[in-house]
Chain A
Amino acid sequence: MTASSNRVSQAGLIWRALVLPAALIIIWAVLDAFSLLNSNILVSPTKVLVTAYQGFADGSIPGATAATLLRALTGWTIGASVGLVVGVLIGLSGIARGLFDPSISSLRQIALFAWIPLFSAWFGNGEIMKVTLISLGAFFPMALGAQAGCQNVPAPFREVGRALELSRFATLTKIILPAAVPAILTGLELSLNIAWLGTFGAEYLIGTGYINGMGDGLGAYLAAAREYARMDQVLLGVLFLALIGVALDRLVIGLSRRLIPWRTA
């Protein structure tokens, strides 16, 4: 009963979420129908559709999307993995906390894109530099989440471990890490979000303003569209960034709800 009514309300929520975008598109189309749009500022919806069709036909849109996605996921995987290990270490050991925590807290205050001058001097403007930047962005929320999760295991659960004479290793794998899973997953979601935003920023800011190929990603696609004043491509690029960003976010949140059923019940 409850499950089905939940499902109905969830479908209702999806429809409700679509009301605003649909209204905007209708207003946009109406304005265009009465020739009220200045094409230097906002092109017509049909023009965007045609550009989308062309972009898919010549492969530039799927290619750029795939490149951005691959870059984001690579950076996320590296950054979140290192963040998980470092966060768990800091969360578990007072010595590690004393050594790393102050430095990490300070470095976290530096805006991600402020690293660009430094990183481009060290790594050039190629793939290594972009992935390093994305990884760094993904690192912080994951490290923070894992640290908080391991540090804030409820004392009653720790006592169960003591009462059952669990070894340090068993306490870690059977009590501390499972208890930290919700915080770790939150860190994972946040770090994916940062990785996705960071990927676009890296592509847009580090790109040259010219598309050197599909491998440059949606960020470079948008930078080039701006350079050539292609409003249709700008709108298309923004739309794709939003759609894929939302899809990634939902996917990870959906997966984490499955992993911790005791949290959602």
Chain B
Amino acid sequence: MADSLTLSPPKKLDAGSVKIADVSKTFRVEGRTVHALDSVSLSIEAGEFISIVGPSGCGKSTLLRFLAGLDGPDSGRIIVDGEAIDRPSLRRGIVFQDHRLLPWFSVEKNIGLSLHSVSGSEVEKRERVQYLIDLVGLTGFEKALPHELSGGMSQRAAIARGLAPRPPLLLLDEPLGALDSLTRSHLQDELLAIWEREKCTVVMVTHDVEEAIYLSDRVVVMEPRPGRISQIFNIRNARPRYRDDPEFVTTRREITELLGSQKKKNH
């Protein structure tokens, strides 16, 4: 069974907890110092679905890259399951906005590549890849090359690649940002189903307030110059959620107004 394929330390039920403590980062852009992140702190429990929203320049993507281990902060610490992050790991899967499938590999090879450095037999890996292809609804497209896929299909393949090594923590950088609204809402439901099945922690960066409320346990609103957390919203509505539910609409208005007031303040 594909479920037998796991990363070397057996996955604990509470795996995927994150502690971001006092993280700061500055960039030099054209001779000027930009405070991308200014002492950001956030704790995420194992199994939570967290969304980060905010205008461009608020540091949300930078924060996600730190969680992935692709870049590091100037100061502060990021701890996942008790270990400080110092480089990328298969225990933290990442899905980029521009799907980043390798154009020379088929769908199944692209997904299989994330199992390349995982121990396990070829048969187990093949089963796991096929299980994920079925899970994201790409059955029949195993041999297709990325340029033969639509945007939505490419993004599904990218999500499958992120999920393949069973990461306790899944990082999504505007994974549905480039899709049309119909494909988008369909993939949101699939994302929820996957999250419920895989029981991983999800941190998603998005521009879309409605998407954040629809999916998340908590919505973290950030603001720019310097990049920091301005407010965290707990979304208590039971799933499946309805976008016209009064409570949903109220929360959406609150977040949108908060983002709007930031805009006024910064101009």
Binding site for B on A (CB under 8 A): 156-157, 159-160, 162-167, 170, 174-175, 178-179, 181, 260-262, 265
Contacts and interface: CB of A to CB of B under 8 A. Distances in A.
Interface stretch (B41-49, B74-82, B110-118, B227-235): B110-118
B223 to A, nearest CB: 27
Nearest to B65: A159
Contact of B104 (A162, A163, A167, A262): A262
Contacts of A265: 147-148
Nearest to A170: B116
Given A156-B96, A156-B100, A262-B104, A164 B116 contact: yes
B68 A163 contact: yes
B116 A262 contact: no
A156 B89 contact: no
Contact of A159 (B70, B113, B145, B147): B70
A17 to B, nearest CB: 29
B147 A262 contact: yes
Mostly, the A contact residues are helix
Contact of B145 (A170, A181, A262): A262
Nearest to B161: A164
> What range describes how many residues of B lie at the interface?
20 to 34
Contacts of A181: 104
10 contacts: A156-B98, A156-B100, A159-B70, A159-B100, A162-B70, A162-B87, A164-B113, A170-B117, A181-B104, A265-B147
A166 B70 CA distance: 14
A157 B98 CA distance: 11
B256 to A, nearest CB: 31
A156 B94 CA distance: 12
Interface string B112-155: 01101100000000000000000000000000011110000000
